[in-house]
Amino acid sequence: MMRTFGRITTGIAAGALLAIVSLGCAAKQPEIRDTWTAAAQQASSSAGRAEAAAGRAEAAAGRAEAAAKRVEDSAARVEAMFSKQLRK
């Protein structure tokens, strides 16, 4: 009878200990936060802004090329005019 009582007591103590340990572990688990979604949205937004800036830079480069061509054409006209006057 004493052995049976000892086994029952040991079983109850083991069950209580297991319950306490499992509840303690469950309470200590960190909260899972979604940090990737915000980072992905920020990256997407940054990529959109970079693409818009690249488009503006490309347009500016086109305008600069056109202006350089106009300057070259003007210089060629002035040179031709001076050459013509020197020949007279």
Q: What is the rounded CA–CA span in Å between residue 37 and residue 44?
A: 11
pLDDT for 47: 94
The amino acid present at 62, given as its one-letter code, is G
C-alpha 69/C-alpha 63 separation (Å) is 10
Query: What pLDDT shows up at residue 83?
Result: 85
Place of tokens 């909260």: 31
The model's pLDDT over 3-52, given as tens digits with 9 standing for 90+, comes to 665 667 777 777 666 666 665 555 556 677 787 888 899 999 999 999 99
Domain ranges across the chain: 2-29+52-87
pLDDT at 53 over 90: yes
Q: What is the pLDDT of residue 58?
A: 95
pTM as predicted: 0.49
